[in-house]
Amino acid sequence: MSTRRQPGGGQPGMGGDEPEELEKLFLSLA
């Protein structure tokens, strides 16, 4: 897990990851 992928800290497009990837990550963490 990367710290830049945390909600509120790294928004889609900022870390270089695709929005879909981040959304899936959030769903997995939730």
Q: Output the tens digit of pLDDT for each of the chain's 30 residues.
A: 555 555 655 555 555 556 687 788 878 876
Q: What tokens appear for 17 in the block? A: 């990851």
d(CA 12, CA 9): 10
The count of other CB atoms within 10 Å of the CB of residue 10 is 16
pLDDT for residue 3 = 55
